[in-house]
Structures are given as structure tokens and as C-alpha cells.
């Protein structure tokens, strides 16, 4: 059992190509877990273990591992989750953040704060995750450490506190200046950066060091009276005092410590590990985890104690061809050993843990027991979903679930050979279990299987997995957009459901208003008085309306939000039952929703294109043709950065077009922005194609 004081559960996250996996590989090397550094460009990294990851040089699935690090003669146990940077796989970041105590967010010193970095930042805000900023790629031409710090402050609305300065010699990044210790750190080049030396700060760097040391003390004085008094009276402030104040205010999200380095050049990684130990919280100091007891409905604070009753959250499901279904858990309290039974509070079923593993990417290290504050993978559970709470059967607690974004793009698929249809259904079922942003539907008219995901790359990877992992040859159609429908007008409607077939019949009667609602989901208000509809039928009415939202009145797309106010109704003492009231709600929705002036909404994407000046005209012209709105064009490092909003339906195959327009000299990234009403001329085309 590790001392929880020295345990850290942290994530590495950033925009694509900022150096997450490269940094994680160095951490594993310097901590002694790996004896060779894996490189993304060589396709031999530990953390990017999937074939698709190694071929494409990107992270697709979050990978968990563990290492040890000695800081101030204490041994720290660090559980690390390396997360993807591509927006199509943002679900992996979302579910990882839900169970982490801290996070290291990487920034490219050349590219600064990028769209996916913003998404990750606000996800971390949502879960109140303390974080450290690491400005990577300081060896690159065009790197600008101080500009990135300004962007972190302005774009992310945060308070970065600079703890390191880049040390440049003859235009080459050779190390860094540590502001707290007042020393420079120089890495040796001939041993993969394993050795480094503390030296005096070069004379030509004294002015800039003094400037940022003063800024550090001024900032900390705002949060600590003792530091302020010593700073104003020019008394010496001990390093431990500075670290203590930074730690406290990192925990409560007041400050973001900023480090720098070049992971690829093996400079700056060991101080990240020191900073994780110094500034990111242990499970003992992490945010409060609150659960609701399913018996008395009271809220409980789950304390990270190995002697408490067991409570954990399943945050990831993965299928492994050797061990079967792996369930990744974060343990919040108690102890679990092989053979124990645990309760799933969603299904109210007991299940037995048959095997447990400490994960190292795709490798499993068998373990017999797991404790509070740890992350592990279990085998043997059958009825389980991402976000389920697993706990002691005498302590039926349910923790807050994980909410995932809905898919925005679909594609029709079919097996090339009919005899593979059962295999395909099984494969889709397993992938759906693993990935909450992947959905499967059967088109009612054509009978086609349509798979939905977060973007072209997401669907491309899934189709590739079906072919490789499940050995199924499939045909695919053209990608399509997952539109939404929106109610715009409020109306009142009465619906009566009556069915008599001899003997006991069916009867339900409801009067309601249906109208728009600003927030997502169904807003259901019950105003029935005098027992005109018994309380046991109200839930069925709500269930009927909620189910109806899946198929909108215009073209059958999902309605994202609506408001139902149940005003009145009646029932029959013999013929009325729950099913009758569920059916009357569905029938009432079908008839009334057509009169609410429904409109079609399309997903709008944030598009960022980086191009040469000579290609600017062709690229902006093409964006305009795609119904795009250019927000701004920024000059940076002899390049142009075009920021725009473009409908997703116009962006299929854009990578090929952009390559042609710029002779392969441009790059782009795209992320979801919002839904917007579709123009009438486009709507008419969609209706024609749908009929």
C-alpha cells in the first residue's frame, strides 16, 4: 500500500502535435520504466500502441501507465494518462479528466494556444482540475515563450505564473533558468538528457531573471500576507515558503505554474516530474468527491481511505483480444481484492472481480489488491457502462456520471458478404461499449446500418478497426451530417388515446403545451391538479415525450430541446395504465410538433487554416464557397492563420482540396462550435434527397 501523500493521478493533454506522447515517453525513460526512448515519428512509442496510432503518428485512445519518481528523498507513485489531441477523440480527454487529480497541459512554443487546447482547458475547469502549463518545442524556429504566456492569460482567462525561463545560447535552446532556485539548468546532449547540471545564471540573463523573480514575488504577495511582508521589507524568502504558496494556489485554481523545455531534444522533462510532485495534489488533497446514497438519498463525501467502504468509478471500457473486456477504474475509497463482489448502482447487480491489472499502455501487470486513490483495470464484469459507480454492496453510493458530446457525422456501412452481418453487429456492439461518442442506428426506410461519430477521422478509424481487429470487409457510403431539429413556436394541444377490444381497454387523456426551451434536453413541468391524472402515470407521460424527441417532425432528426407543460387530463379507473399514458404522449407529440414551426439546425465548425501568403486568396475564396464566415486573418512567422466558421456539411474531403490549393504547404484543424439554422435553399435540397 502506497502512502497516498506520495501518490499522483495526472494526465498529459494538449492540442494535436504539441508533444504529449513524446513528453510521456521521456517521463517513462527518465523514471526507469523504459530503457529506450520511443519516438512518434518512428512509430515505436509505448503509449501509442495501436497500429493506427503508429501509422498516423497521432494518439487515438488514452493510455494509462505508472512510474516512480524521487523528489526530496521521497518516492512518488505517479499514475499517468496520455490523452489524444485530435478533436475527434475528445471523449478520451473528457473521461480521463473526470478521474484525475491534476493535469499537465502542453503548449507549442511556436503555435501557442490552439483550439483543442481551449477545449481541454474548459473541460479541466468544469472538473476543477489543478494544472501545470508546459511550453514545449523551445528548440523550434519561431518559438516565443513570452507570447504563449500572454495567450494563456488572455485566451484562457487564467493566471499563469512563470517559474522557468528559456536559456538560449547562439540561437540554440540549451536549458532553462529556474526562478525559485535561482539557478540555470543545462542538459548534457550525449546521454539522451539523462544528466543535467545546476549552474549560476549567465550574466547576460540577470536582468530578465530579476524582472521575473520580482513578478513572481509580487504575484505571490497577492495571495499570502507573510510573503507580502517579507517582500516589502526585503527580507529573504525561503524556497519552501514560495513552493508552499504556489502549491496552495495551484490546488484552488488561482495560479497556473508555467514551465518550458523541448521534450524531443531531451531538455526540461525532469523538472516537470518535480513540479508534479510539488504542485499537483495527491488524492488526499484533491477536490471533494460527493456521492448520493441510494437508500437514504443523502449526500456523502467519499474520503480516500483504504479502510473505508469500497467506492470507484468506471471511466473507460476497452476490449483486449487476450484478456477480454477491460474496465478502467478510479478507486476513491476502500480496498478491493480478486474474488470480491461489488455492486453496480446503475443496474443494482452484484458482480465479481476475477482479475485485476496495473496497466502499462496495452500491457497488463497482474495485481491481487487495489487501494483508495489508485487507477487500475478489472476483468470479469459483464453489465457495465462508462460512468458506472462500483461500490460495496452495503454502501450503495452513486457518483456523478460522465457527460459526453453527441456525434455530428454519420456514414452508412454494410458487410461485403452477407454471412458477416452477425460478426459486424457484434463488432459494432463492442465498439459502442468502448466509445460513448460512437452510435449505431438502423435507417427505418432503407434498413441500412448507419454509424455516427465525431468527425471523418473518428469514423475512418472505426471502419479501419472493424477491418483489422474483427476481420470484416465492409462497404461504406458517403459521410452525412447529423442535423438537429428545433421547435420555435408554443402551442396547446389535447390528445386522447382510446382503444376498446373487448374486456379491459386502453384510455388516456392529456392537455399540454409544447414549445421551445433554451437549454438542452426536455423541460417537463407538471401542473395537473386535483388528481385528474394519478401521480404514477406522470412519469410515463414524461417518458413518452422524452422518447419522442429522438424523431423530429420535419425530417426525423433528433430534437435537442423542448418544453412540455402538462396542464390537465383524465383517466379511467379500469382502462388506464402506464403504457396508455406513454402512448398518448407519443401520439400527442407527433400531432402537435408539426404545428410548432420546426426548423432544421446544422453543426457549425471552427476552422483554422495555416497557409503561406501566396495561397491566401485561393484558400479564403474556397472557404467562402463553402458558406464559411472568415472571422479574422493573423500574421505569424511568415504564415497566415485564417480563423473561420464553416458548416460541417461543406467540409467533407477538405484535406485533399487544401492540399491541392496550397501544393501541400497548408495545415488545418477543425472543432465543433455550435448548431445554427440551415438556409432554406439548402433545406430544400436536403428534403429532396431525403424523400
Both 580 and 662 in one domain: the answer is no
Both 105 and 213 in one domain: the answer is yes
**Selection from 677, 676, 649, 669 nearest residue 90 by Cα:** 669
Q: Note the pLDDT of residue 259.
A: 97
Q: Does residue 404 belong to any structural domain of this protein?
A: no
Both 591 and 604 in one domain: the answer is no
**Of the residues 450, 482, 514, which one is the last residue of a structural domain?**
482
- The single-letter DSSP state of residue 13 is E
Q: What CATH number does residue 217 fall under?
A: 3.40.50.300
CA 64, CA 80: separation in Å to the nearest integer?
6
Q: Does residue 51 belong to any structural domain of this protein?
A: yes
Both 493 and 467 in one domain: the answer is no
The proportion of the chain whose per-residue pLDDT surpasses 90, expressed as a percent, equals: 43
Q: Note the pLDDT of residue 655.
A: 80
**Of the residues 433, 459, 482, which one is the last residue of a structural domain?**
482
For residue 83, report the phi and psi dihedrals to the nearest 5 degrees.
-110, 155
pLDDT band at 262 (very low <50, low <70, confident <90, very high): very high
Give the Cβ contact number of residue 323 at 10 Å. Answer: 15
pLDDT at 498 over 80: yes
Handedness of CA 454, 457, 458, 463 (dihedral sign): positive
Contact 424, 343 (CB under 8 A): no
**CA 3 to chain CA mean position, Å:** 29
For 237: left if phi > 0, alpha if psi spans -120 to 50, otherwise beta; the answer is: beta
The proportion of the chain whose per-residue pLDDT surpasses 70, expressed as a percent, equals: 92
Q: What is the pLDDT of residues 417-434, one digit of tens each?
A: 888 889 999 989 888 888
**Of the residues 279, 305, 321, which one is the last residue of a structural domain?**
279
- The single-letter DSSP state of residue 647 is E
Residues in the chain, total? 691
Q: Note the pLDDT of residue 48.
A: 44
CA 436, CA 389: separation in Å to the nearest integer?
16
SS3 state at 573: coil
By CB neighbour count within 10 A (0-12 exposed, 13-18 middle, 19+ buried), where does 103 fall?
Answer: buried
pLDDT at 460 over 80: yes
Q: What CATH number does residue 556 fall under?
A: 3.30.230.10
Residues 6+ apart with CB under 8 A from 210: none
Higher pLDDT, 37 or 480: 480
Contact 228, 134 (CB under 8 A): no
Q: What is the pLDDT of residues 213-243, one digit of tens each?
A: 999 999 999 999 999 999 899 898 999 999 9
Q: Does residue 573 belong to any structural domain of this protein?
A: yes
Q: Which residues, in sequence order, are bridge partners of residue 671?
A: 606
Q: Does residue 523 belong to any structural domain of this protein?
A: yes
Higher pLDDT, 422 or 444: 422
Q: What CATH number does residue 353 fall under?
A: 2.40.30.10
Both 38 and 187 in one domain: the answer is yes
Cell numbers 457484434 correspond to 426
Q: Note the pLDDT of residue 36.
A: 59
Both 250 and 121 in one domain: the answer is yes
Q: What is the pLDDT of residues 509-539, one digit of tens each?
A: 999 999 999 988 999 999 999 889 999 999 9
Among the residue ranges 104-108, 122-126, 263-267, the one predicted with the least confidence is 122-126
Q: CA dihedral in degrees (428, 431, 436, 437; nearest 10)?
A: -70
Both 298 and 313 in one domain: the answer is yes
pLDDT band at 245 (very low <50, low <70, confident <90, very high): very high
Structural domain span for residue 580: 488-597
Q: Note the pLDDT of residue 447.
A: 73
Q: What is the pLDDT of residues 282-315, one digit of tens each?
A: 999 888 888 888 888 888 888 888 888 999 988 8
Contact 543, 550 (CB under 8 A): no
Strands 341-344, 389-391: pairing is antiparallel
**Selection from 607, 523, 621 nearest residue 563 by Cα:** 523
pLDDT at 407 over 50: yes
What is the H or E stretch that residue 309 is in?
Answer: none
CA 327, CA 381: separation in Å to the nearest integer?
8
CA 82, CA 64: separation in Å to the nearest integer?
7
CA 590, CA 548: separation in Å to the nearest integer?
8
Across 580-587, average pLDDT = 96
Q: What CATH number does residue 468 fall under?
A: 3.30.70.870
Both 465 and 496 in one domain: the answer is no
Contact 553, 598 (CB under 8 A): yes
Q: How many Cα atoms sit within 13 Å of 647 on the Cβ side?
A: 17
Contact 514, 558 (CB under 8 A): no
Q: Does residue 284 belong to any structural domain of this protein?
A: no
Helices (H) and strands (E) in the chain, counts: 16, 37
CA 477, CA 487: separation in Å to the nearest integer?
30
Both 172 and 255 in one domain: the answer is yes
**Selection from 499, 517, 504 nearest residue 587 by Cα:** 499
Q: What is the pLDDT of residues 161-177, one digit of tens each?
A: 999 999 988 888 999 99
Q: Note the pLDDT of residue 17.
A: 77
Q: Does residue 517 belong to any structural domain of this protein?
A: yes
pLDDT band at 89 (very low <50, low <70, confident <90, very high): low
**Selection from 623, 311, 648, 362 nearest residue 484 by Cα:** 648
Terminal Cα-to-Cα distance of the chain (whole angstroms): 64
pLDDT at 109 over 60: yes
pLDDT at 59 over 80: no
Q: Does residue 650 belong to any structural domain of this protein?
A: yes
Mean residue pLDDT across the chain: 87
Q: Does residue 671 belong to any structural domain of this protein?
A: yes
**Selection from 106, 105, 101, 69 nearest residue 270 by Cα:** 69
SS3 state at 688: helix
Both 588 and 610 in one domain: the answer is no
SS3 state at 422: helix
Give the Cβ contact number of residue 591 at 10 Å. Answer: 12
Largest CA distance in the chain: 100
Q: Note the pLDDT of residue 361.
A: 66
Q: How many domains does the chain have?
A: 5
Q: What CATH number does residue 652 fall under?
A: 3.30.70.240
Both 343 and 375 in one domain: the answer is yes
pLDDT band at 495 (very low <50, low <70, confident <90, very high): very high
Q: Note the pLDDT of residue 446.
A: 65
Both 82 and 106 in one domain: the answer is yes
Contact 324, 367 (CB under 8 A): no
Q: Note the pLDDT of residue 624.
A: 94
Amino acid at each position: 500500500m502506497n502512502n497516498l501523500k506520495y501518490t499522483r493521478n495526472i494526465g498529459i493533454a494538449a492540442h494535436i502535435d504539441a508533444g504529449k506522447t513524446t513528453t510521456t515517453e521521456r517521463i517513462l525513460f527518465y523514471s526507469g520504466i523504459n530503457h529506450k526512448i520511443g519516438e512518434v515519428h518512428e512509430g515505436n512509442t509505448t503509449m501509442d500502441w495501436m497500429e493506427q496510432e503508429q501509422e498516423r503518428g497521432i494518439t487515438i485512445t488514452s493510455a494509462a501507465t505508472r512510474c516512480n519518481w524521487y523528489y526530496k528523498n521521497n518516492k512518488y507513485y505517479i499514475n499517468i494518462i496520455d490523452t489524444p489531441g485530435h478533436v475527434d477523440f475528445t471523449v478520451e480527454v473528457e473521461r480521463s479528466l473526470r478521474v484525475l487529480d491534476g493535469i499537465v497541459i502542453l503548449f507549442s512554443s511556436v503555435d501557442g494556444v490552439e483550439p483543442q487546447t481551449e477545449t481541454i482547458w474548459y473541460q479541466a475547469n468544469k472538473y476543477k482540475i489543478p494544472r501545470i502549463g508546459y511550453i514545449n518545442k523551445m528548440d523550434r524556429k519561431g518559438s516565443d515563450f513570452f507570447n504563449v504566456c500572454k495567450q494563456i492569460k488572455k485566451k484562457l482567462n487564467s493566471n499563469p505564473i512563470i517559474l522557468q525561463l528559456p536559456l538560449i545560447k547562439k540561437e540554440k535552446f540549451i536549458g532553462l533558468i529556474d526562478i525559485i532556485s535561482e539557478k540555470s539548468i543545462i542538459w548534457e546532449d550525449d546521454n539522451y538528457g539523462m544528466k543535467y547540471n545546476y549552474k549560476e545564471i549567465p550574466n547576460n540573463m540577470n536582468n530578465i531573471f530579476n524582472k521575473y523573480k520580482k513578478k513572481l514575488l509580487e504575484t505571490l504577495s497577492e495571495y499570502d500576507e507573510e510573503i507580502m511582508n517579507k517582500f516589502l521589507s526585503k527580507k529573504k524568502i525561503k524556497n519552501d515558503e514560495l513552493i508552499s504558496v504556489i502549491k496552495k494556489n495551484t490546488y484552488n485554481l488561482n495560479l497556473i505554474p508555467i514551465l518550458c523545455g523541448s521534450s524531443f531534444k531531451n531538455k526540461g522533462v525532469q523538472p516537470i516530474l518535480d513540479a508534479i510532485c510539488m504542485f499537483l495534489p495527491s488524492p488526499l488533497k484533491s477536490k471533494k468527491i460527493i456521492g448520493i446514497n441510494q437508500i437514504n438519498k443523502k449526500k456523502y463525501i467519499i474520503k480516500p481511505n483504504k479502510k473505508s467502504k469500497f467506492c470507484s468509478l468506471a471511466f473507460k471500457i476497452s476490449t483486449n483480444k487476450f484478456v477480454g473486456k477491460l474496465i478502467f477504474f478510479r478507486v476513491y475509497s476502500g480496498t478491493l481484492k480478486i474474488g470480491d463482489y461489488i455492486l453496480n448502482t446503475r443496474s443494482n447487480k452484484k458482480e465479481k472481480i476475477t482479475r485485476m491489472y496495473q496497466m502499462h499502455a496495452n500491457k497488463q501487470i497482474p495485481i491481487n489488491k487495489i487501494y483508495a486513490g489508485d487507477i487500475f483495470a478489472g476483468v470479469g464484469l459483464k453489465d457495465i457502462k462508462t460512468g458506472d459507480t462500483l461500490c460495496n454492496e452495503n454502501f450503495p453510493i452513486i457518483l456523478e456520471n460522465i457527460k459526453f458530446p453527441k456525434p455530428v457525422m454519420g456514414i452508412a456501412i454494410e458487410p461485403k458478404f452477407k454471412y458477416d452481418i452477425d460478426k459486424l453487429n457484434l463488432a459494432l456492439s463492442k465498439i459502442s461499449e468502448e466509445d460513448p461518442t460512437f452510435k449505431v442506428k438502423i435507417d427505418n426506410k432503407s434498413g441500412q446500418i448507419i454509424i455516427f461519430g465525431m468527425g471523418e477521422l473518428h469514423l475512418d478509424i472505426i471502419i479501419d478497426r472493424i477491418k483489422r481487429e474483427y476481420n470484416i470487409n465492409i462497404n461504406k457510403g458517403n459521410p452525412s451530417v447529423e442535423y438537429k431539429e428545433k421547435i420555435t413556436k408554443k402551442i396547446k394541444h389535447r390528445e386522447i388515446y382510446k382503444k376498446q377490444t373487448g374486456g379491459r381497454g386502453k384510455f388516456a387523456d392529456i392537455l399540454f403545451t409544447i414549445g421551445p426551451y433554451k437549454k438542452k434536453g426536455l423541460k417537463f413541468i407538471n401542473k395537473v391538479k386535483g388528481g385528474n391524472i394519478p401521480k404514477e402515470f406522470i412519469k410515463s407521460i414524461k417518458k413518452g415525450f422524452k422518447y419522442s424527441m429522438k424523431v423530429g417532425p420535419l425530417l426525423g432528426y433528433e430534437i435537442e430541446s423542448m418544453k412540455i407543460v402538462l396542464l390537465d387530463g383524465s383517466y379511467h379507473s379500469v382502462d388506464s395504465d402506464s403504457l396508455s399514458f406513454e402512448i398518448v404522449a407519443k401520439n400527442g407529440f407527433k400531432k402537435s410538433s408539426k404545428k410548432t414551426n420546426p426548423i432544421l439546425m446544422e453543426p457549425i465548425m471552427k476552422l483554422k487554416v495555416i497557409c503561406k501568403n501566396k495561397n491566401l486568396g485561393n484558400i479564403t475564396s474556397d472557404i467562402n464557397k463553402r458558406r464559411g464566415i472568415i472571422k479574422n486573418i493573423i500574421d505569424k512567422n511568415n504564415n497566415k492563420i485564417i480563423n473561420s466558421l464553416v458548416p460541417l456539411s461543406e467540409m467533407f474531403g477538405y484535406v485533399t482540396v487544401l492540399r491541392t490549393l496550397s501544393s501541400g504547404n497548408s495545415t488545418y484543424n477543425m472543432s465543433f462550435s455550435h448548431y445554427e439554422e440551415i438556409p432554406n435553399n439548402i433545406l430544400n435540397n436536403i428534403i429532396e434527397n431525403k424523400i
